Amino acid sequence: MLSRIKTRITTWAKALKRDAHAIYLASRDPRVPWYAKALAIAVAGYALSPIDLIPDFIPIIGYLDELILLPLGIWLVVTLIPHEIMVECRAKANVAAQRPISRAGMAVIILLWIAGAVMLGWIGFSWWNRP
């Protein structure tokens, strides 16, 4: 019984993740109405934003926005996007999820960010320590 519940939750979470990627892809499609694009951008922005409606550190209710608002937002966007386009975008999202993850590429990007931050810090330090 418990394993079935876990399986259903895992399947639901994977579908939600796929649909989040699919609405991102759909927001870039010229056949999607402007209001669906606007809502897709708002939902994706909220999902990626570090600022939450209810802060996550509050026990139990801190994750309610992720458990209720995000799925509702994704569902609303999916209903506004034409079915054919959503099928195409879901297929593209499935293909993207099957691609291997490049850990070397991730390491290079992280090193570039660190190098940029160090260089910016060095420039700022030299600027403020001028005579």
- pLDDT tens digits along 102-121: 777 778 888 888 999 999 99
- For the entire predicted model, the pTM comes to 0.65
Per residue in 16-50, pLDDT (tens digit) is 888 888 988 999 999 999 999 999 988 877 776 66
Q: Are 19 and 90 in contact (CB under 8 A)?
A: yes
Query: What is the tens place of the pLDDT at every residue in 84-97?
Result: 999 999 999 988 88
| The predicted structure's pLDDT at residue 48 | 67
Determine contact, residues 90/14, Cβ cutoff 8 Å.
no
- CA distance between the termini of the chain: 72
What is the Cβ-side half-sphere exposure of residue 70, based on CA atoms within 13 angstroms? 20
Rounded to whole angstroms, the Cα distance separating 65 from 38 reads 20
